[in-house]
Amino acid sequence: MTINVAVLLVVAVIWRLRRRTEARSRFDEKLTVVIVLALGVLLALTPAGQEILNILGQLASGVTQASR
């Protein structure tokens, strides 16, 4: 059985974010940031990641045009 690393990182992020904010140390916060960045790099290389990037780009473009 193979486990997709991106799926494993998603589970780790969800698990870490469910913890109470007051219970987190600086190390916990930094570790969460590193995990999220690694997940972002893995997703950016996939077709799904490229589609998310396109959608966010269109959303940002729409917000910019709406504010003019």
- Write out pLDDT tens, residues 2-44: 567 778 888 888 888 887 767 678 888 888 888 888 888 887 8
Asked if residue 35 lies in contact with residue 12, where contact means CB atoms within 8 angstroms, the answer is yes
End-to-end CA distance of the chain: 52
pLDDT band at 1 (very low <50, low <70, confident <90, very high): very low
Per-residue pLDDT tens over the stretch 56-67: 888 888 888 887
Range of the domain at 32: 5-17+26-66
**Count of domains for the chain:** 1
DSSP state of 1: -
pLDDT for 3 equals 62
pLDDT for 16 equals 83
Here the tokens at position 62 are 């729409």
What is the reported pTM? 0.57
